[in-house]
Amino acid sequence: MKKHIIAFLLIFSFLSSRADEGMWIPMLIGKNYEEMQRLGLKLTQEDIYSINHSSLKDAILQFGGGCTAEMISSEGLLLTNHHCGYDAIASLSTVERNLLDNGFWALKKSEELPARGVTALFLQRMKDVTAEVKDIVGDATGEEYAKKMEEVNKKWEKQESQGGKYVVNVRSFFNGNQFFLLIYKRYTDVRLVGNPPRSLGKYGGDIDNWMWPRHTSDFSMFRIYADANNEPSAYNLSNVPYKPAKFLPVSIKGVKEGDFAMIMGYPGRTNRYEVSYGIDMAVNTVNPSIVAIRDLRLNIMKRHMDKDKATYLQLTSLYSRISNYWKYFIGQTEQLKRLHVVEKKAKIEADFTAWARENNENSQLMNQFATAYTQFAPYAKHSVYYTECFRASGLNRMAAAVKPLYDYIAKNPKTNPDSIAYYVKGAQNSRRANAKEFELGTEKEMYAEMTRMYYENIDKAQLPDVYAKVLFNKECVGKKKCKPAPKGKLPCYQGTSYPEYAEYVFSHTMLADSNLFNEFLKNPTKEKMDNDAALQYAFSVINNYNTNYQQLIDGFYNKKASLAKEYIKLTMKWKKDNAFYPDANSTMRLTYGKVKSYDPQDAVHYNYFTTLDGLMAKYKPADEDFDVPADLVTLYKKKDYGRYADEDGTLHTCFITNNDITGGNSGSPCINANGELIGTAFDGNWEAMSGDIAFDKKYKRTIVCDIRFVLFLIDKLGKAPNIINEMEIRD
């Protein structure tokens, strides 16, 4: 009992309350609850999180592995973001029946479409297991730490999964200073119920992304199905709608400036305890590299998507994912500079060092960070380009999945059939996963440009030997005649450009052809792999990275993790009266604050809501980003908003709050003081894109799609009263 009290105080000790900043663990809401009440909350702590009866936590789920959703009916209906359902919607679309572009509404349950691969994960309970984990893990780091944590998870899975009924994992908080056991139930029969046309679900496109004012109807709807006992079951026509322990009632009263707003969900990653050295590297090396690579990838994909509708449907989800964080890293870098975050962090670190010296703590900690980053700096760019550039090619990802098979055969003259089958299955699964977004024309151009970028941006001393031995082999490159290769051997590359090299590779690989690949897997040999051009390039890059740099890079991250753990521990000791919350790590969190406008710059004020008037002011017929369906234009002209209009007579589209969210919160419910759904969170604002590293109280805002806009589009545009009638709507 004592260790739980200590952990509780560790997280929730207060000097002063901060309603907006903080991603709090719902189970440990503690003194936050008193502040939430002062802000207007009418619910009890048990209403928010309880293991004894239904609570808000039972209405919130992790959707698809990377987003959040909320239950909004007693029959398994859920609401999430349009961009969270985007991949499923695109996968269900064809050129002839384009659900993504045209929208889709199931007017009865039999019309709902199975969203293959989409999962719904519900938190059942969580428990502090810090003492138990530390007994096993101790001071282990790196690979030893990973093995110990695997042992920890196996132990708890055996004790708590009930033979696979529950998903069990142990997560680290405060960089390894605290551990929680989390137990979930996963549902896999998830079906598409409805989505607005893409022109509305992504209204504003990349131009408006991460911006306020915003008018996007970023929502989609799915339904969870279960067996007759309400338990998870694979897709089956005999399954019935899931009965949630809790679902959110919907309020159409609207919001006002200063209203209480609470968001629950699964924020992905923040790094609020990052030191100045890491931020400086992000600003000057990591982020610019990511942006440059993704910019080129997006341009290549866009050209091919614009030429062919089938290619567009095949690649649009991948394009959207790449684009979202391409702009994110641009914005993060800009705001980190504008807000002078490196300098501010350095000042805090200097104060910390002075405190540590005066109190006989580790006053060399910041010097240790500096040394680690200095040693890592020569390889930082290579690390980014290996992940973002080399692996941007689908062909390279397929080749990487064949590498374990190659290594096994190369090391074992006498192979075991079971081992071969194991590695073959891994290669098959990877190729199958990559084939979904593998479009030949796009891939060839991507391969050529990524191969070029890798060469031009990596320190020449760090390049793999394939460039010298193949791409720039003076004996063959540019020569009209080259010694012909023996029969069955890979011919010498003779071209002089990266597009020519891409053609050479694609002409001499089995990876791009499913028939050739499957034939190879029937009898995989080292010789066949040695004479495959795609494997030749990829294996050279992988071997170079793994042999010469992986250990250095892993060593840096292991050292950084150890230093960060100590820094957080000592910071809590230094600022013992301050509030501390753990960085986001894809576990359920709660954030609370108010509906609030802001002033982004001198003489500029941003109101807290937007309207359909503002959406139509941006309207450009046939424009890729700002077109809207003709039916919406008609509804707007008639001002046919029904009961969803605000008391001012307009239809509100979005609003902003000062809640603290990040990626993974997409689709999270925005909840009022009475526990009612008032909107779904979908974005942050440009002026606060440094937020994952440094929260800024003045600028940080969450952008929410007003639930009244959602209902209006379902009712008036989608003409799906069956969906409206399912919900508990409160005037």
Catalytic residue numbers?
A: 83, 218, 666
**What is the three-class DSSP state of 450?**
helix
Residue whose pair of structure tokens reads 């720039």 in the numeric block: 472
Nearest Cα to 47, choosing from 615, 489, 673? 673
Alpha-helical (H) ranges within 436-513 are 440-457, 466, 498-507
Q: Name the amino acid, one letter, at 93.
A: S
103 φ/ψ sector (left φ>0, alpha ψ -120 to 50, else beta): left
Q: Token digits for 547?
A: 């042999």
Contact 255, 80 (CB under 8 A): no
Calculate the CA 293 to chain-centre distance: 18
CA distance 78 to 247: 9
Q: Count of residues for the chain?
A: 731
Nearest Cα to 35, choosing from 12, 8, 7? 12
Residues 6+ apart with CB under 8 A from 302: 319
Q: What is the number of other CB atoms lying within 10 angstroms of the CB of residue 569?
A: 17
CA distance 138 to 163: 29
Residue whose pair of structure tokens reads 């760019």 in the numeric block: 381
Distances (CA, A) of 7 to 18, 50, 130: 20, 19, 9
The DSSP-derived string for 202-238 is: TTTHHHHTT-SS------EEEEEEE-TTS----S-TT
Alpha-helical (H) ranges within 359-497 are 365-388, 394-411, 417-435, 440-457, 466
CA distance 559 to 553: 10
Residues 6+ apart with CB under 8 A from 280: 342
Cis geometry, peptide bond prior to residue 582 (ω within 30 degrees of 0): no
Is the C-alpha dihedral spanning 601, 602, 603, 605 positive or negative? positive
CA distance 715 to 704: 20
Calculate the CA 690 to chain-centre distance: 17
Q: What is the number of other CB atoms lying within 10 angstroms of the CB of residue 433?
A: 14
Q: What is the number of other CB atoms lying within 10 angstroms of the CB of residue 381?
A: 18
CA distance 163 to 151: 17
Contact 491, 533 (CB under 8 A): no
Residues 6+ apart with CB under 8 A from 372: 277, 556, 559, 560, 563
Nearest Cα to 107, choosing from 719, 625, 538? 719
Q: For residue 172, what are the β-bridge partners?
A: 179
Nearest Cα to 346, choosing from 270, 404, 278? 278
- Cα of first residue to Cα of last residue in the chain, in angstroms, is 45
Q: For residue 680, what are the β-bridge partners?
A: 669, 705
Q: Angle at CA 625, nearest 5°, toward 624 and 629? A: 80
